[in-house]
Amino acid sequence: MAEFLVPELDPAGLDRVRRLLADLRTVPELTERYAGAGAVRGLADLAGVPVMTKDDLQVALRHLRPRAADGATWVFQSGGSTGAPQLGYAPTGLYMREVHDHWRPLDRDDVFVNGWSAGKMWGAHFLVNAYLDHVGCTAMNLGALAATEYDPWLDFFAAQRVTGIGGTPSVLALLFRHASDAGVKLPDLRTVLWLGEAWDPRLDDDLRAVAPDARRWGMFGSTETWVVATNTPDCAADTWHPLPSQLVCVDDDEFLDFTALNPTGLNPVLRYRTGDAGRFVGCSCGRPGRAVRVLGRRDGLVKFRGHLVNVADLVDDVCARPGVARAQLVVTEYADRGGLLEVLVQPRRDAAPDLADRVRSHLLGSGFGPSIVFQRNPDALSVTVVDRLVANERTGKVANLIRRAR
């Protein structure tokens, strides 16, 4: 039975859900699907409305072509590295007033560096700038940095007495690893905003060395749902407090779905599944009520030499090995000799020198799906320790799985 985070909808929320249903029924491909959903008088009825897939939403957007009532209508896109690009629409302001009303990592005195890459229609850079407009701080648009640019920009941060920086954890982890290795200190830095990926635990170690007063503040969402929830340094990094306009539901299979109750919302997001699994939990920050613990993506099943591999489970399993900071899978299909699974491993500082061998032995002995394949074909598995994982050029994000054909 679908369970919602809040006990019931208020009249405005109920009205919004009815409007979303009415809009979706006008989409020819979806009319039949939503015709079966009866009148929605509360959450018990909403639990009977079908969940929406990524494809459903893209079909609906193509038909509805949303337009903002005031100001501009902005179109963003996500994905493209692990799936087809997903579009999302947002009005001027990018819904950030509500975020600012409920989440205050920065104030007017801050000097903030926006380190999300801009361009190619990815929303993170622009969304954060819209947030900063409400904060009223001093802000600098840096974008994502290449490795050769770290030193001069770290000097610049120190000289400008930067107090806040934000980016995807993959990009921040490389920057702060470099700063830590180079002995750079940023004593004024106290706020690190993150969005776009799960938190990278290596950042905790490097931040302690570079900026001991810095704390992480996260936003969680997607291009289609927009910002769903936020957290603070007192929350576990995987645990989130949804905004009032975001209705979160968890189904029997632990998939999360999201309904956007914002009355000016442009995307018809009604029980929309992003592929994230989750659970409702109490949060370590002590805030009353329940929060959402995000367990990661559950949409990553790939077939490798005839065996189904759960990508997230395998990556989690490797990451749980001593000395492993992060891991990534690269599956290459060769026309002549079948598939090769490469496990790329980013080490922790205290990693053993033979980390690759240890991870390989673990995978061969673990009994997970294809371990039997590797016992028969040792060449089908390679484990490599790398300085950096393969990142999306546009966003700097690191996907769990890269697929290649040769």
List interacting residues with Zn ion (CB under 5 A).
Answer: 235, 283, 285, 287
Residue 290: count of CB within 10 angstroms of its CB: 18
Return d(Cα 367, Cα 344) in angstroms, integer. Answer: 20
Q: Kindly tell me which of 294 and 380 has the beta carbon lying closer to Zn ion.
A: 294
Q: Kindly tell me which of 188 and 238 has the beta carbon lying closer to Zn ion.
A: 238
Q: Kindly tell me which of 103 and 374 has the beta carbon lying closer to Zn ion.
A: 103
Return d(Cα 186, Cα 207) in angstroms, integer. Answer: 9
DSSP letter for each residue of 102-120: H--S--TT-EEEE-SPP-T
Residue 284 contacts residue 307 (beta carbons within 8 Å): no
DSSP letter for each residue of 33-56: HHHTS----SHHHHTTSPPB-HHH
Q: Kindly tell me which of 117 and 246 has the beta carbon lying closer to Zn ion.
A: 246
Contacts with 322 (C-beta within 8 Å, 6 or more apart), sequence order: 351, 352, 358
Residue 258: count of CB within 10 angstroms of its CB: 26
Q: How far is the CB of 99 from Zn ion (least distance, A)?
A: 15
* DSSP H helices in 215-310: none
Q: Kindly tell me which of 170 and 239 has the beta carbon lying closer to Zn ion.
A: 239
Please compute, for residue 229, the number of CA atoms within 13 A of its CA located in the half-sphere on the CB side.
22
381-385 and 338-347: which strand pairing? parallel
Q: Kindly tell me which of 232 and 332 has the beta carbon lying closer to Zn ion.
A: 232
Q: How far is the CB of 229 from Zn ion (least distance, A)?
A: 10
Q: Kindly tell me which of 285 and 295 has the beta carbon lying closer to Zn ion.
A: 285
Q: Hey, is 171 helix, strand or coil?
A: helix
Q: How far is the CB of 115 from Zn ion (least distance, A)?
A: 24
Q: How far is the CB of 101 from Zn ion (least distance, A)?
A: 17
Q: How far is the CB of 81 from Zn ion (least distance, A)?
A: 30
Q: How far is the CB of 71 from Zn ion (least distance, A)?
A: 33
DSSP symbol at 348: P
Strand partners, 277: 255, 296
Return d(Cα 116, Cα 39) in angstroms, integer. Answer: 43
Q: Kindly tell me which of 16 and 293 has the beta carbon lying closer to Zn ion.
A: 293
- Return the C-alpha torsion angle 361, 363, 366, 368, nearest 10: -160
Q: How far is the CB of 75 from Zn ion (least distance, A)?
A: 33
Q: How far is the CB of 104 from Zn ion (least distance, A)?
A: 14
Contacts with 208 (C-beta within 8 Å, 6 or more apart), sequence order: none
Q: How far is the CB of 221 from Zn ion (least distance, A)?
A: 16
Q: Kindly tell me which of 133 and 238 has the beta carbon lying closer to Zn ion.
A: 238
Return d(Cα 345, Cα 352) in angstroms, integer. Answer: 12
